[in-house]
Amino acid sequence: MGKKKKLYTRFFMSLTLISVGCILVLAVVIFYLYRNISIDNVNKANQNVLLNTETVYMNYKEIVQNYTMDFYANPNINALMMNGDTSWSDQLYSALSQIRGALVVNQYLENAYIFGTNEPVAMFENLPLSPESKLELFQRIRTSRIVESPFLWKATLNNGTPVTLLTVFYNDRAFASSEYYGAVALTVNLGKLQNNLFTQKEGEVTRYAVLDGNADVLMHSALSGSPLKADMLKQVVASTSERGSFVYRGTGEAQLITYIYSAKDKIWFISETSYKDSIRDISNARNLMISLCLALMLAAAVSANLISRRIYKPIGRLFGNIVHLSGNEEALKTGGDFDAASLELEQIGVKLVQLKKESDDSALMRWLLSPREASDNGDTPVMSIGDPGGAYCVCVLAIVEPGPAAETLESGGKGIEVIRTAFSGLAAVQAFRPHEGTAVLVLSELHSGSFGDYALYRGKWEEIAASLPEIGVRCAIGISGFSNDMGLLRSKYNEATEGLQYIKFHERQSIIFADDTIHLNSSPLPDSALEPVLLAVRQSDQAAHIPQAVERLLAVACSYRAESANIALSRLAFELSRTAELSADTRHSGFLDDYQRIRHIQSYDKLRSWIEECCYTALERIASMSAVQTRNIATEAISYIREHYTDPGLSLNALAEKLSLSPAYLSRLIAEEVDSSFPDFINQLRLERAQSLLVTDLEMDIRQIAEKVGYNSSTYFTTQFKKRYGVTPSKWRMNHILQSK
């Protein structure tokens, strides 16, 4: 009952988790979708504000431009500009009054200048500029064309304070080649203009600003809190698009930045809104979304419960049937549900295969014994022989490469038919097929002595074996010896079956006579026969000889009994499997598996290919482990050298003895690892350490430093140091002292 509950719980939890996961994914998608929509709406609103701000700025600029044109066209101002006469007169008073009135009405206008052909003629300054700035302004307007008005420039006040001004001017220079006859210029105080340009409502959190191409703030709305971030401003002016937005995540709170670029004036209009405020609408709906998700999760749990019940009912019945079939209730009580059920089904399948084989074998035995016992099974043919007093033999024919059932059945039928044809008129052939790939034939003389001469009898079988491949039948044939005692029929069948075990040791041979196996060596196959194969695997330079070693081994196995050869080859496979293992403690079941596999192989090519595959697999594992071991040894050697390079007694021979390696092999490993020989690597470490001591410990003399880094001779140390660094240790130290001072 506990297992059933556990399985039902798994169904329920799996469905619930899948449903909850889908709901959470859907909620996240909806949140981000509406968040992006909310941000787009805020961006559009901010862009509209920036476009309006740009329009207002253009209007103010146009007003100032109209003033300069009117002043330039005014006869009094024009006369003053042309003759440069600044003596008191009604014309001068009228001109200055007109300019003063414009400055009073438009408080963002700071200064007005009337330039003659060679110098400024008259000026009215609320924000006095330094003489240098005035001269700079005059020179710039004198060389500028009318289309270059207005322009931004950095000026200096009389008190030395720098200020950025917007200057609008008018002159008659429409082209670069036009003559200059004078000009009128008005400067705009951007700090005052921003009060007219930006209107900040109470409670509004969005901030606005105007930037120049250098990311300097020209005008801005009320900047409550911290000033605009310099990194953010640089990111705006670095943009290649004329309008857009981005989320700026500086050190503080994230901000949504929207910008518009005015290509004509080369200025940027930007807005800065708190990112939280930009998604305020979707944030307000968060509670609603959480409630909706919880409701959906509850609905998903209820649905999962109902579905789990519907799914579990047939599966529960299925498990009950498995328990009933297997009879092993304890396995399902203690197992892992599906795993235990799968294992029980596999065992049931194995039992069915065994029952079928037992049934087939029983039928074969009934057929073999049918001359003495009446058959009680209508499906089993009654055995009959030719001459009751004549001799008989048993032949077992096995298909070497079984394919689909129909093809295997057809191949077996062809083989039987060839044997019947070959012995027609000589023997009665009784055939029985206990398995798809196997046929058992009993050949009995039609009359005593009809088999004739034994040599001719063997020749006929060899002709049969040679003709079968020509008709597409690849099979192995085992033939028992002669007997006229029907009581030995079963033992003769065993002889023929055992003969099939010898075929895999013979190249290009598909037939074995039991008479030929009697005199084979029954002692165990010696280990010396296996040694060449193991030697070829364990020594990488002998790997090319693996096929020849395997071929010689199978040639030796031909002269031994099949059981001895099978055991020897199983031991070889077992040794190969553990050759590359870190531990020699391998499970004995590996040997038994190899033994069963070798017994079921029925052809020379398959056996040889399998043994060679085992050899190459072991060879690859040995090579892989050898590479890892080599890298570990090299790393250990380099680490030891780095720790003990100051020891004067450190040598290649001593280190090789410590690591149980030959000096030549260790030298090659070190050279491959550090791309340097052992002596050069030691010298490099010692000289690098000495170089450091020369400049950090000025109290030590050269001899002491040489001893400290591992040199027995200060002269040798000096020679090696100069060879590496081009100067002696003393000069190196002196150069360092001079550079420090």
CB 281 within 8 A of CB 36: no
pLDDT tier at 377, thresholds 50, 70, 90: very low
Its sign, for the CA torsion 102, 107, 109, 110, is positive
Distance CA 213, CA 236 (A): 10
How confident is the model over 471-495, as pLDDT tens digits? Answer: 888 888 999 998 888 878 888 888 9
Distance CA 71, CA 185 (A): 9
Its sign, for the CA torsion 28, 30, 36, 38, is negative
CB 95 within 8 A of CB 80: yes
Buried b (16+ CB within 10 A) or exposed e, 605-618: eebbebbbebbeeb
Distance CA 388, CA 391 (A): 8
Enter the tokens of residue 377: 């099974």
pLDDT for the residue 446: 85
Residue recorded with tokens 């063997």:
458
- Report phi then psi at 641, rounded to 5: -65, -45
Of residues 391 and 593, more confidently modeled: 391
pLDDT tier at 589, thresholds 50, 70, 90: very low
CB 503 within 8 A of CB 604: yes
Greatest distance between any 2 Cα atoms in the chain: 166
Tell me if residue 582 falls in helix, strand or coil: coil
335 pLDDT more than 60? no
pLDDT mean across residues, the chain: 80
Q: Which of 137-141, 174-178, 594-598 has the highest mean pLDDT?
A: 137-141
Enter the tokens of residue 647: 């020891």
Enter the tokens of residue 574: 């077992």
Question: 73-82, 158-167, 609-618, 686-695: which has the minimum mean pLDDT?
Answer: 73-82
DSSP label of 118: S
Distance CA 17, CA 8 (A): 14
Identify the CA nearest to 269 among candidates 293, 309, 233. 233
Distance CA 122, CA 79 (A): 12
pLDDT for the residue 585: 41
Q: How many residues does the chain have?
A: 741
628 pLDDT more than 80? no
User: ω into residue 150 within 30 of 0, thus cis?
Assistant: yes
10 pLDDT more than 80? no
Residue 151 Ramachandran class (φ > 0 left, ψ -120 to 50 alpha, else beta):
beta
Of residues 304 and 50, more confidently modeled: 50
pLDDT tier at 383, thresholds 50, 70, 90: low
Q: What is the mean pLDDT of residues 582-599?
A: 62
Q: What is the mean pLDDT of residues 444-456?
A: 83
DSSP label of 470: G
284 pLDDT more than 80? no
563: part of which helix (H) or strand (E)? helix 562-579
174 pLDDT more than 90? no
Identify the CA nearest to 394 among candidates 365, 358, 373. 365
Identify the CA nearest to 493 among candidates 558, 426, 432, 450. 432
Tell me if residue 389 falls in helix, strand or coil: coil
pLDDT for the residue 319: 62
186: part of which helix (H) or strand (E)? strand 183-188
Residue 644 makes CB contacts below 8 A (sequence gap 6+) with 650
CB 429 within 8 A of CB 450: no
Its sign, for the CA torsion 707, 708, 711, 712, is positive
Distance CA 341, CA 326 (A): 10
pLDDT tier at 374, thresholds 50, 70, 90: very low
Residue 54 makes CB contacts below 8 A (sequence gap 6+) with 260, 262, 269
CB 109 within 8 A of CB 196: no
Distance CA 665, CA 680 (A): 17
Residue recorded with tokens 């951007």:
190
542 pLDDT more than 80? no
Distance CA 247, CA 272 (A): 10
How far are the Cα atoms of 298, 384, 495, 525, 653 from residue 515, in angstroms, in the given order?
81, 25, 9, 21, 65
120 pLDDT more than 80? yes
Q: Nearest 5°: CA angle at 600, between 595 and 601?
A: 100
Distance CA 489, CA 384 (A): 12
User: Which is it for strands 392-399 and 438-445: parallel, antiparallel or unpaired?
Assistant: antiparallel
| DSSP assignment string, 29-93 | HHHHHHHHHHHHHHHHHHHHHHHHHHHHHHHHHHHHHHHHHHHHH-HHHHHHHHH---SS-HHHH
| DSSP assignment string, 602-650 | --HHHHHHHHHHHHHHHHHHHHHHHHHHHHHHHHHHHHHHHHHTT-TT-
Distance CA 490, CA 487 (A): 7
Buried b (16+ CB within 10 A) or exposed e, 68-95: beebbebebbbebbeebeeeeeebbeeb
Q: What is the mean pLDDT of residues 50-72?
A: 87
Tell me if residue 476 falls in helix, strand or coil: strand
Distance CA 469, CA 247 (A): 80
Identify the CA nearest to 430 among candidates 422, 415, 418, 420. 420
Question: 7-21, 187-201, 402-416, 486-500: which has the minimum mean pLDDT?
Answer: 7-21
Q: What is the mean pLDDT of residues 371-389?
A: 53
Of residues 432 and 345, more confidently modeled: 432
pLDDT for the residue 580: 52
Distance CA 696, CA 689 (A): 11
How far are the Cα atoms of 28, 283, 285, 287, 298 from residue 291, in angstroms, in the given order?
14, 14, 10, 6, 11
Distance CA 512, CA 479 (A): 6
Enter the tokens of residue 384: 């009959």
